Amino acid sequence: MKMGKNGMFSSITKRPTRWSLAPWTAIVLNLAAHCMPATAGESPTARCAKLRQAAIPDTRIELAHTLPSRTRFTNVDGSITTTQVSLCRVVATVSTEPKQKLGIEVWMPLDWNGRLLGAGKSGFGGFIDYRALTTGTGRGFATVSGDTGYKGSGSGEPGKRLDWAADPTSLSNWAHLSVHSMTVAAKAIMNAYYGRGPEYSYFSGCGGVEAMQEVQNFSSDYDGVDARSPGIYYGQLMESFLWGAMLPARQPDARLTKDALALLNRAALRSCGGTPGLENGFLDDPSQCHFDPAQLQCKGRDDGSGCLSAKQVEEAKRLYSPVRNSVTGEVIYPGFAPGSESGWEAIQSHLAVYYAQPLLASAVFGNPEWDWTTFDFGADASRVDKGLSSIVNATNPDISAFTARGGKLIITQGWADATNAPTRPIDYFNAVAARKGGVAKAQQSLLLVMVPGMGHCGFGPGPTTLGGSSPPTQYSPDRDVISALQAWVEHGKRPTHFVATKYADDRPEAGVRFERPACVYPASLHYNGAGDRRLASSFECVPPAEQVRTSTNLSPVPGG
């Protein structure tokens, strides 16, 4: 796999098919359908408890019991989630090979809509996502979440080995088989409980690499896939984390403080069409912005309160610029977009220390105490390509097996994402379109939705709820990706755009502040010049052939 100097795909090889277990999937579902059929007149409680004796291949049922609505669960972050409906809860362990021990939970509502929803993970996984289980079952889906094959918090610790990453087989299982095995087992459990499998299956995940692995390698698992902020170049993403934190680690005075980031953000917004003194805002399309942070460098007797030091300017330029191979000059990973500065705190330290260091130390360097600040973006980049990227990346643009059976994929990406570079999904879409024979043909099965001002899977200064972490109170195909996938998969209604919502304090219960259309790429967002900027109706998505640049692409936050 190589990237050209412009960061686009120059050649992407198809991943070997050794992970494909489609025939095994059919056998498991057939066996499950006959091992314990639902008994007419049997109570849901009895049917659920009976699952403890179900003979499901490669799956051990640890717990099966009914839960009433309003049952409370504690999430991995300590927050509390409460079930919305009565359901059958199944806790199971799946082992398809000696080195795999996958923990899953399948929640099956008594009032079932006939569909499965698979829940993905961000970070490294390692835990059951009770929020996703609660939200999915609240909408009538039988919902499954898995721990990706190990128990953890979703990140690592510097100096502590990640056992699942240190072994190539376990690492491959984590990257490829964890979601697939979870899905096969969930369908078998549903067969045993309901007496039939799902009519349609959907998958949704923040971080998105699991979703992309499913589309590229296990085309029969899901009919519709929601991939949010996908880190498809996972190995190179870790190198981006190192790049962003390297200069502050070596020279602490280069770190962009909270005040410096706010100053930088205001200057970037003004430079791209804003009003001097603007305190809050976001860019509808930062690809049109060309901002040089050197204009903020302190001069003469400046005390530094309203300017950046030379080292801070250097750090800002590093974060805007792509990471390059120091030997070949090729782009390893793109830079971040103007307008994302308020989210840069983590990229300057946390992401390198708790994600890149433990993963690369375990999977590539074989030393848990490896010093990440010594990383060589030439020789070591080649080691990452061989020891990690070749195993975990999900970059194959050949999704023909998925689309041939009617599969639909929607990728959503925030322009203000400060974790994944927002242009990487654009690169992937263009690669698929080139293979398909053009944008129109690619959009028969794949849509890329670019959300203005949204960070990583949500949050940020812009309209941040689009089937994300704060679901709207009413689901509809133009506001929620899963609803849109259902309309597209089941009724052939392809969405033309979405409406993204900004809630006060990012809490739906606090009320709507404003809305914006989120356009399907390559269409871009344009203001009509006169309407209320709080209303989505004041904007339109304009296809490339009709685009005429307006005087500004900046969207001030109403009331900001």
Domain ranges of the chain: 1-206, 236-392
Q: Determine the Cα–Cα distance for residues 252 and 160; give it in Å rounded to an integer.
A: 24
Residue 522, preceding bond cis, omega within 30 degrees?
yes
Specify the pLDDT at position 473. 54
- Interhelix angle 209-217/178-194, rounded to 10 degrees, is 80
Cβ-based neighbours of 360, under 8 Å, separated by 6 or more? 238, 242, 370, 372, 375, 384, 388
pLDDT digits (tens, 9 = 90+) for 382-409: 999 999 999 999 999 999 999 999 999 9
Other C-beta atoms closer than 10 Å to the C-beta of 440 total 9
Which of these, 543, 459, 542, 449, lies nearest to 499 by C-alpha position?
A: 449
What is the CB neighbour count within 10 angstroms for residue 523? 19
| 64: phi then psi, degrees, rounded to nearest 5 | -145, 115
Give me the pLDDT at residue 273, please: 67
pLDDT at 344: 97
- What whole-number distance in Å separates Cα of residue 239 and Cα of residue 261? 22
Percent of the residues in the chain that have a pLDDT greater than 90, as a whole number: 70
Residue 122 has pLDDT above 90, yes or no: no
Amino acid at 60: R
CB 119 within 8 A of CB 204: yes
What pTM did the predictor assign? 0.89
User: Is the CA virtual torsion 293, 299, 303, 309 positive or negative?
Assistant: positive
Which run of H or E residues covers position 192?
helix 178-194
Residue for token pair 């959009």: 443
Mean predicted lDDT score pLDDT of the chain: 87
Quickly state the pLDDT bin for 531 (edges 50, 70, 90): confident
Structure tokens at 289: 């912005």
Residue 288 scores a pLDDT above 90: no
- Evaluate the CA torsion angle 381, 382, 384, 388 in order and state its sign: positive
| Average pLDDT over every residue of 215-221 | 97
Angle at 18 between CA 17 and CA 23, to 5 degrees: 85
pLDDT at 439 > cutoff 90: yes
pLDDT at residue 363 tops 60: yes
Contact 90, 105 (CB under 8 A): yes
> Residue 441's pLDDT is what?
97
SS3 content of the chain, % helix, strand, coil (to 5): 40, 20, 40
